Structure 1
Amino acid sequence: MTKLNHEWAVKEIDQFLHITDQVGYDNSGGGVVMFGTHMRGSQTEASQGAHVVEQVLDRVLPGWSKERPVRDGKFAWLRDQASRAKAALQRETEFAENLGDNAPDMDAANLHPWAWQNGRSFWNTGHFHQAVMQAAIRVNAETQAKLGRMDVSETALFNEAFSLDAPKEGAPRLRLTKDDGGKTYQNLHRGARSFADGLYTAIRNPGMHKPQESDGGEEQLALEQLAAFSLLARWVDQAGVDGA
């Protein structure tokens, strides 16, 4: 997935701020004298600009809309959020160098589509736990579809999919590489099988009941969990089917 174009995003924010700026009436001409202020642009222009800015905010400030007021007639609240996003975009490198160790960032939007697309709307509204659960559901469903196995799911599905046993009728296998009789082939599939088992046993099943806590916060924990499901998704997506 393409990375966010910072220059474009800042330009769109500036355009929205300009359109929604409150300016005084020009009473230099003849006619009725108007007092107070009005929005520089039209309501249509403001609404169109707001739509674009909201997409930028989804990427730059996850969860930004959780405290959004019911009414924001003059776009005052959205203007404030847009200004925050602009600062985040323009000073991203500075923040990383002065507030942290400048470690590489992981962007959820660049994860495998199976781990991101279904949960994107949840993530953007700050429902990080639900986004992870959606990833688990999607990866399971895509694996079932690839193998034609609607009779098993989750842990049982992946245990059979990556089994080193020969495929059977109605039970094809996923193969990450060709069997050359070496240890690497066996280790790859045992590892994938154990990895998938761990994800659905330790994250998916407990996660259906209560979100786990982490010193890094719910968002950081969820991002790490999404990355894990993304890796499993890539393995499944790239694997060949033996015995279809």
Structure 2
Amino acid sequence: MSLPRIHVAAELVAGGELILPEAAARHVALVLRMRRGDTLTLFDGAGHEACATLVDVDRKRVAVQIDAVGAGQGESPLVVHLGQAISKGDRMDYAIQKAVELGVAAITPLYTAHGDVRLKGERQAKKLAHWQAVAASACEQCGRATLPPVHAPSSLADWLTGRDEALRLMLHPAAEHHGLDGDIPASAALLIGPEGGLSPTEVDAAREAGFSALSLGPRILRTETAPVVALSLLQFRFGDLRRA
């Protein structure tokens, strides 16, 4: 049975003690019902993880002794930046969760012409913090020690301006080929549109930014399903899901 994995945004030092943050402490004490002497794995989100032993556990305070620190595992050699059109409710959570499990390196939620979600001010800040927590939880589950950033929501135009990845793909049902030919790239950008699809103007802008169209077959996938399929194909063709 694998040890529980907990994300802590703190430096992990072998031999040191660490007080777990409130949410993590509550999870360890009340959900997992762990006790003094139990062991768990901590990771800092920057690629390091530690074996730790609980030395103090109560409802308000959980302290651990860090026994050993090492490099984490689970990172794909293919660095993928996902530009995901923002969708309502738990559909966006699902897209972020599964993208992290499939090894994405960064995620930017996007405002698009046909998207029906617009966030401002405090509402955007709260939603971003929630998405970052979803990503951290996915890392805890899947064994990654590097936490991929969920960037602040951006307009599609601004996101396209900053793209310099070796391979740039956008999902488009009218694509004439699958777009996964050629040599293995070091990095990739993947653009997923909203339920209504990218507008013709947005498709043209993406093409001008060096994006090729990627088709996932004859069926139209939901916006939260599309990144799961596309990232699986990318990781199988170019990343760490390749057959030996």
TM-score bin, normalised by smaller chain? under 0.3
* Larger-Rg structure: 1
The structure where strand makes up a greater share of residues is 2
